[in-house]
Amino acid sequence: MDNLKSFKGKTPQLSSGAFVDFSAVLYGDIEIGEDSSIWPLVAGRGDVNFIRIGARTNVQDGSVLHVTRFSESNPTGFPLIIGDDVTVGHNAMLHGCTIGNRVLVGMSATIMDGAVVEDDVIVAAGSLVAPNKTLESGYLYRGSPASQARKLTENELAFLKQSAINYVILKNEYLAEL
């Protein structure tokens, strides 16, 4: 795939059943989990640190995935780690953060360096998660800066897993067309 580009001897790696749209561009030290999908115009740069994306995770159109380099004040930098069954909405910006499992990152949300989003969280569309902030499991967060709005309902918790399943089905339909 011409859109999987090496940088400093590292090339993005795809697990079984993963899908990367031809218009997405991924550089360097990136690993994409089983049945995950990267949709049109996603840009991912694992150039100065690494990106790890879990299983059944979807990163939707126009999203940006990046990392923070190592420095004297931050010897490990900030890699980007995204868990399993995550839905990253259109035009989201994930920069050197850690996203747990069964998370929905809303459209045009931004999550900054060192932030941690625990499992089973919804980050509302357009929200800004400040550097080094932790979002506690089981809640909806919204705003700029993002703050805890309320506990997730049982239906919302179930939706987090269903959203990931829906994208596995869709990427399988795309792969069958290719």
Closest CA to 96 of 67, 70, 118: 67
Report the CATH number of the 4-177 domain.
2.160.10.10
- pLDDT per position as a tens digit, 125-138: 999 999 999 999 99
One digit per residue, the tens of pLDDT, for the chain of length 178 reads: 789 999 999 999 999 999 999 999 999 999 999 999 999 999 999 999 999 999 999 999 999 999 999 999 899 999 999 999 999 999 999 999 999 999 999 999 999 999 999 999 999 999 999 999 999 999 999 999 999 999 999 999 999 999 999 999 999 999 999 8
- Assigned token pair, 163: 């959203």
- pLDDT per position as a tens digit, 67-88: 999 999 899 999 999 999 999 9
